[in-house]
Amino acid sequence: MGQKITIEPVTRVEGHGKVTIHLDDENKVVQTRLHIVEFRGFERFIQGRPYWEAPVLVQRLCGICPVSHHLAAVKAMDVIVGVGPDQLSPTAEKMRRLMHYGQFFQSHSLHFFHLASPDLLFGIYADPTKRNVLEVAKEFKDLAVQGVMMRKFGQEIIEATAGKKIHGTGAIPGGINKHLTIEEQMKFLIGKDPMNIDQMISWAQDALELFKGYHKENKNLIDNFARFPSSHLSLVRKDGALDIYHGVIRAVDKDGNKILHDVDYQHYLDYIAEEVKSWSYMKFPFLRSIGKQDGWYRVGPLARLNTCDFIPTPLAQKEFELFKDYTNGKPNDMSMHMHWARLIETLHAAEMIKELLNDPDILEGERVRKGTKTIEGVGLIEAPRGTLFHHYRINKDDQIEMANLIVSTTNNNEPMNRAVEIVAKDHMNGHEVITEGMLNAVETAIRAYDPCLSCATHALGKMPLEISLYNSNEKLIDQKRSD
Amino acid sequence: MENYRILIYGYGNPGRRDDGLGPALVNLVEKWIEIENISNISVDSNYQLNIEDAYTIHNFDLVIFADATVEDIENFMLSRVLPSSKTDFTMHSVHPAFVLDLCTQLYEKVPDVFLLHLKGYDFELKEGLTKRAEENLKEAFHYVREILVNPVKDIQINKVINTI
């Protein structure tokens, strides 16, 4: 008799999701699904609001990555006010980039130290009471302090560039509304140890070494856990460099062949569509040219390093070369290498922060430009978790009449489902009870994508873990819950 | 009292109606300490708490976090926070007890930490508190202001909690 196992919601993932695993009569996994409740109300909510409010309003969507939404929205509004990405003043673009790299640095640092490091230091299958950041703090205090301070440094960069922690207003249509002060610049450049950029670069390198050391000793696990071939999509700079703020859309297939050739994201709807599936509230994006079945793709750190040709900062480029050599230049399809890619990006972000902090344009210069208004604009940005699309159209009264958002986690919907399926088959075939190890394996696979589902929920602080077991008649036969 | 360092830290998303109660309380406290020229009280706010707040609080003797709640309380409640390693099912935010535990582990400092639970009613996408939440905020602010004048003596604990 077949059975269905439900894991709900996934622990340590923001928002709400559940996993159902269907077993056949011999307890073999026949189907897995990751169900995510995607928040879609925002697109209706923003209709009728003046377009210039969008970059601030979108931060209501998410307290986790407000900077990404802020910048994606303002990039779309730049187009609407007739100041395209290449027409921003150098000061405006550099200040926005500084904000964005600050966001990347703090977000990636949090993911590594809070989530990945417990897995790497204690092992993926270790007792969950031990596999958490507090245990890291007890046994590896210096490392935990580094994580806290790296996160804090990135947050302070955001505050200095966005103007404030909550609902920042740093970026406005056509530019920015503040420069960095000399005091802020000096604080970040030569602040008292450890709060200066050189220390941050050094710690980013240390984190990479930690990963590489673990990888060396646990090759089989890191290389083969939740591994599957896929296409990859991201922004790249026009010359092929990694660029998380602006560029063209590129996608490559599992062999590295370009399947989306550096296209202008203003026309993204010509290339990308979203499929609705009856069992999920979250849509499934795909490349039109390949179709629904095989046109899905991964986004995020792994995808970005698979699509770009090089990284335009020296230390990260050296690490990128090692990363590429590992797969002989072919796309890397190993889910756990997402951590490796994320740490290379962390180092790149720190290097970029230093470069921008040393640029005099951030201290003075033209902040805002004006152009000829249009009625429609698309803003694309690489959020820490992957490509983020914002698309708006306004009416003659300057009110938003249409908004379409494709968030990073939606782009990774199918890949996360694939990862869960592989892990479930590897760990659950022949079993009818979920062990702690199995549960954690499923969660580890999902966590590698760093999904952020907070748009789906609000912070009521009630997200219990519930595991339900059903037989083939959909009858609940077991349930575990942890509050 | 000047050497007794106090932090009022509100968290929540003001773009989601009553979820912004914590930052709203901070705004009131900030205005008050400015008018009264009080130097030993600092304020901070954010969308949610996270690991770096372990560093933030380690410099203070008393920390009062303020957060919106849907708990079954009348209007507001103050409770003591004890260190706890228990985490929620979320990776991008942590709770006051976790922040305190991490602070204890990393900085060997144990400030007095309390959580002010502010009753909220509507968490939809909209700016501005509901009328009832505003009333709760006013009452809570008066209460906090009173205890801040003499925190050690006057803090009345409604309920001791181990973690949230």
Q: What is the pLDDT of residues A237-275, one digit of tens each?
A: 999 999 999 999 999 999 999 999 999 999 999 999 988
Establish if B1 belongs to a structural domain: no
Question: What integer pLDDT is reported at residue B78 of this predicted model?
Answer: 93
pLDDT higher than threshold 70 for residue A178: yes
Residues A20 and A135 placed together within one structural domain of the fold: no
* Mean pLDDT for all residues in chain A: 86
Task: Count Cα neighbours of B99 within 13 Å in the Cβ-side half-sphere.
Answer: 27
On whether any CB of chain B is under 8 Å from the CB of A164, the answer is no
Mean pLDDT of all residues in A311-326: 98
How many Cβ atoms are within 10 Å of A63's Cβ, its own excluded?
23
Per-residue pLDDT band for A398 (boundaries 50, 70, 90) equals very high
Domain that holds residue A435: 3-39+427-482
Query: CA torsion angle for B92, A63, A231, A419 (degrees, to 10)?
Result: 30
Question: What integer pLDDT is reported at residue A15 of this predicted model?
Answer: 43
Residues A104 and A195 placed together within one structural domain of the fold: yes
Q: Are A368 and A77 in contact (CB under 8 A)?
A: no
Establish if A385 belongs to a structural domain: no
**CA distance, residue A181 to nearest chain B CA (Å):** 21
On whether any CB of chain B is under 8 Å from the CB of A45, the answer is yes
Chain A from 199 to 228: CB within 8 A of any B CB? none
Q: Which stretch of A124-128, A284-288, A325-329 has the lowest confidence by average pLDDT?
A: A124-128
Establish if A251 belongs to a structural domain: no
Residues A30 and A103 placed together within one structural domain of the fold: no
Q: Are A447 and A115 in contact (CB under 8 A)?
A: yes
On whether any CB of chain B is under 8 Å from the CB of A59, the answer is yes
pLDDT higher than threshold 60 for residue A276: yes
Q: Which of B13, B14, B102 minimises the CB distance to A137? A: B102
Establish if A21 belongs to a structural domain: yes
On whether any CB of chain B is under 8 Å from the CB of A44, the answer is no
Structural domains in chain B (count):
1
Produce one character per residue of A111-136: b if its CB has 16 or more CB atoms within 10 Å, e if not.
Answer: bbbbbbbbbbbbebbbebeebbbbbb
Cβ partners under 8 Å of residue A202, min gap 6: none
Closest chain A CA to residue B122: A458
Cβ partners under 8 Å of residue A189, min gap 6: A196, A197, A354, A357, A358
Contact criterion met (CB < 8 Å) for B14 and A166: yes
Chain A from 83 to 112: CB within 8 A of any B CB? 110-111
Give the CATH number of the domain where residue B26 resides.
3.40.50.1450
Contact criterion met (CB < 8 Å) for A138 and B105: yes
Per-residue pLDDT band for A361 (boundaries 50, 70, 90) equals very high
Per-residue pLDDT band for A12 (boundaries 50, 70, 90) equals very low
Mean pLDDT of all residues in A347-374: 97
> Could you tell me the maximum CA-CA distance found in chain B, to the nearest angstrom?
42
Mean pLDDT of all residues in B96-118: 92
The SS3 call for residue B137 is: helix
Contact criterion met (CB < 8 Å) for B91 and A14: yes
Mean pLDDT of all residues in A127-133: 74
pLDDT top residue among A369 and A408: A369
Closest chain B CA to residue A111: B91
Q: What is the pLDDT of residues A192-218, one digit of tens each?
A: 988 999 999 999 999 999 999 989 999
pLDDT higher than threshold 80 for residue A310: yes
Mean pLDDT of all residues in A6-13: 42
Q: What is the pLDDT of residues A136-152, one digit of tens each?
A: 888 888 888 999 999 99
Structural domains in chain A (count):
2
Which residue is it, tokens 């926005």? A96
Contact criterion met (CB < 8 Å) for B45 and A166: yes
Residues A478 and A345 placed together within one structural domain of the fold: no
Per-residue pLDDT band for A44 (boundaries 50, 70, 90) equals confident
Identify the residue among A134, A192, A203 best suited for mutation to test binding to B, counting B beta carbons within 10 A and taking the highest: A134
Question: What integer pLDDT is reported at residue A454 of this predicted model?
Answer: 52
Q: Are A36 and A17 in contact (CB under 8 A)?
A: yes
Q: Is A73 exposed, middle or buried (0-12, 13-18, 19+ CB in 10 A)?
A: buried
Q: Are A121 and A139 in contact (CB under 8 A)?
A: yes
Question: What integer pLDDT is reported at residue A483 of this predicted model?
Answer: 40
ipTM of the complex: 0.79
Question: What integer pLDDT is reported at residue A455 of this predicted model?
Answer: 43
Question: What integer pLDDT is reported at residue A138 of this predicted model?
Answer: 85
Distances in Å between the Cα of B85 and the Cα atoms of A130, A311, A362 are: 10, 39, 41
**CA distance, residue B25 to nearest chain A CA (Å):** 14
Distances in Å between the Cα of A301 and the Cα atoms of A60, A129, A151, A264 are: 25, 29, 18, 21
Q: What residues of chain A lie within 8 A of the CB of B105, using their CB? A: 134, 137-138, 141, 144
Can you tell me the distance from the alpha carbon of A326 to that of A307, in angstroms, rounded to the nearest whole number? 16
Give the CATH number of the domain where residue A200 resides.
1.10.645.10
Distances in Å between the Cα of B56 and the Cα atoms of A103, A145, B9 are: 19, 12, 10
Residues A455 and A355 placed together within one structural domain of the fold: no
Which residue is it, tokens 């622990």? A11
pLDDT higher than threshold 60 for residue A221: yes
Residues A15 and A100 placed together within one structural domain of the fold: no
Contact criterion met (CB < 8 Å) for A141 and B12: no
Establish if B116 belongs to a structural domain: yes
Establish if A205 belongs to a structural domain: yes
Bridge-based pairing of strands A386-394 and A465-471 is unpaired
Contact criterion met (CB < 8 Å) for B88 and A461: yes
Residues A99 and A215 placed together within one structural domain of the fold: yes
Question: What integer pLDDT is reported at residue A374 of this predicted model?
Answer: 96
CA B81, B84, B87, B91 dihedral sign is: positive
Contact criterion met (CB < 8 Å) for A137 and B89: no
On whether any CB of chain B is under 8 Å from the CB of A137, the answer is yes
Closest chain A CA to residue B16: A60
On whether any CB of chain B is under 8 Å from the CB of A19, the answer is no
Name the most confidently modeled range: A111-120, A421-430, B99-108.
B99-108
On whether any CB of chain A is under 8 Å from the CB of B85, the answer is yes
Mean pLDDT of all residues in A329-349: 96
* pTM given for the model: 0.89
Q: What residues of chain A lie within 8 A of the CB of B84, using their CB? A: none
Distances in Å between the Cα of A71 and the Cα atoms of A18, A58, A85, A98 are: 30, 10, 12, 11
Q: Is the peptide bond before A194 cis (omega within 30 degrees of 0)?
A: yes
pLDDT higher than threshold 60 for residue B161: no
pLDDT higher than threshold 80 for residue A40: no
pLDDT higher than threshold 70 for residue A471: no
Domain that holds residue B33: 6-161
Mean pLDDT of all residues in B37-47: 92
pLDDT higher than threshold 70 for residue A10: no
**CA distance, residue A12 to nearest chain B CA (Å):** 4
Q: Are A458 and A16 in contact (CB under 8 A)?
A: no
Residues A92 and A218 placed together within one structural domain of the fold: yes
pLDDT higher than threshold 60 for residue A475: no
Angle, CA of A383, A389 and A390, to the nearest 5°: 115
Cβ partners under 8 Å of residue A42, min gap 6: A58, A60, A61, A403, A405, A455, B125
Which residue is it, tokens 């979320």? B90
Question: What integer pLDDT is reported at residue A282 of this predicted model?
Answer: 77
**CA distance, residue A289 to nearest chain B CA (Å):** 36
Q: Which stretch of A157-161, A353-357, B85-89, B93-97 has the lowest confidence by average pLDDT?
A: B85-89
Residues A342 and A451 placed together within one structural domain of the fold: no
Q: What residues of chain B lie within 8 A of the CB of A41, using their CB? A: 125
**CA distance, residue B3 to nearest chain A CA (Å):** 24
Task: Report DSSP state, residue A248.
Answer: E
Question: What integer pLDDT is reported at residue A39 of this predicted model?
Answer: 56
pLDDT higher than threshold 80 for residue A458: no
**CA distance, residue A166 to nearest chain B CA (Å):** 6
Closest chain A CA to residue B51: A148
On whether any CB of chain B is under 8 Å from the CB of A48, the answer is no
